[in-house]
Amino acid sequence: MELESQWWKGQLAEDIYHALRYKELKLPAYKGQSPQLSLRRYFADLIAIVSNRFRLCPTARHLAVYLLDLFMDRYDVSVQQLHVAALSCLLLASKFEEREDRVPKLETLNCLGCMSSMNLVLTKQNLLNMELLLLETLQWNLYLPTPAHFIEYYLSIAVHETDLHDGWPLTSLEKTGLYMAKYADYFLEVSLQDHIFLNFAPSLVAASCVASSRIVLRLSPTWPPRLQRLTAYLWEHLSACVERLLMAHDGDVKEASKQKCQQQNPSVVSAVFHGPGPVSAVPQYLHGATLQYPQQNCQPLLSSAHGPSSYMSQTSLQAGTQPHGHLQHIPASLETKVSMPFNRGYQVNAHYKCSSPCFDR
């Protein structure tokens, strides 16, 4: 499903958007029951690294991770098989979202530095078998909306000349839009790191990424009426998801500050950062949001509260804490050769400054 370039600006934008919203109501159930759930972050980062290497679009990357989530949720597989599954998910997603000439080739995959460092060897038959298993598991349906499919549509009106920064008019609408897109992309990647975001509708996660970006950039109102109308979400619907996104951002900022301090003055590192220290449960940005839209008690993560739109009233999200179902086993013929330290961490998070230069007055 390679959508036309900048479809969100075309005449069919509203029709495409409503089709995506309708389709997200029929997404497969996710229970979070995989025995290898602790390895999810590693494989999500692996997919991100390979997709960045081939410069695949965000929708392909997000679809690949979502396909892997659904696969892990339904099969009890070995770590070796998960490597094949992760790369097969990326290939399927890129075939669905990208042009044919941008789909990674098997020979190129095996030549990647990260592949050789893991001593991972892929064969054509391994990939074909795994792709067939994935397609049969998903009933040959890859039309699965992710937050990346909604984000550009929301960003098209995320910044307006009537917005205020710290109570003052914007000095540069263009630069503000660039920073908005930058932060929205960051929060979009944050949502890939934790399977808990699968408890929210993809469109809600995308809207929360925009709301979180506005909070970090200190734009007011936090969730203006134009975004409420476009997304059909009120602030109360977004608060729980926004809180998780901003907590992750808070952690990244603290980690970046810690690393910067270590580089500038290594002699006092042990004194300044002795022990983990207390972490605020709710980032300070959330308190600023209450100025425009007072927060009520955050709804449970498994809640399916939605806006006034008719098609949203039927949403029913599956909880990740439901009783475990029956997990299938994959035939041993799908295994591949792999030898690697599985505790290796791939950090793909980017750190962005809290204050934006374009807002300096």
Quick one: fold of 31-144+327-334?
Cyclin A; domain 1 (1.10.472)
Task: Give me the pLDDT at residue 267, please.
Answer: 55
Question: Chain-centre distance of CA 244, in angstroms?
Answer: 12
HSE value, Cβ hemisphere, 13 Å, CA-based, for 114: 18
Contact 331, 316 (CB under 8 A): no
The predicted structure's pLDDT at residue 109:
81
Q: Which pLDDT score is estimated for 100?
A: 84
Looking at this protein, which amino acid is placed at residue 240? A
pLDDT along the chain (361 residues), means of 10: 56 87 92 88 91 90 94 86 89 90 84 72 85 91 93 92 90 91 94 93 96 94 94 95 93 85 63 39 40 33 34 33 47 43 33 37 30
CATH 1.10.472.10 positions along the chain are: 31-144+327-334
Number of residues written out for the chain: 361
C-alpha distances out from residue 360 to 40, 150, 168, 169, 249, Å? 40, 31, 11, 12, 21
Cα gap 108→1, rounded to integer Å: 24
The answer to whether the predicted template modeling score (pTM) of the entire model surpasses 0.75 is no
* DSSP secondary structure letter of residue 313: G
pLDDT in tens, 16-64: 899 999 999 999 988 888 888 889 999 999 899 888 888 999 999 999 9
* pLDDT value at residue 240: 95
Residue closest to 51 by CA, chosen among 92, 3, 16, 17: 92
pLDDT for the residue 126:
84
pLDDT of residue 327: 59
Contact 55, 145 (CB under 8 A): no
Phi, psi of 337 (to 5 degrees): -85, 125
CATH number belonging to domain 147-156+164-315: 1.10.472
And the tokens for 20?
A: 């995506």
How crowded is residue 29: how many other Cβ atoms within 10 Å of its Cβ? 13
Place of tokens 């100025």: 291
SS (H, E, C) 290-302: CCCCCCCCCCCCC
Q: What is the pLDDT of residue 249?
A: 92
- Of 279, 161, 290, 282, nearest in space to 223 by CA: 290
Q: In whole angstroms, what is the distance from residue 50 CA to residue 61 CA?
A: 9
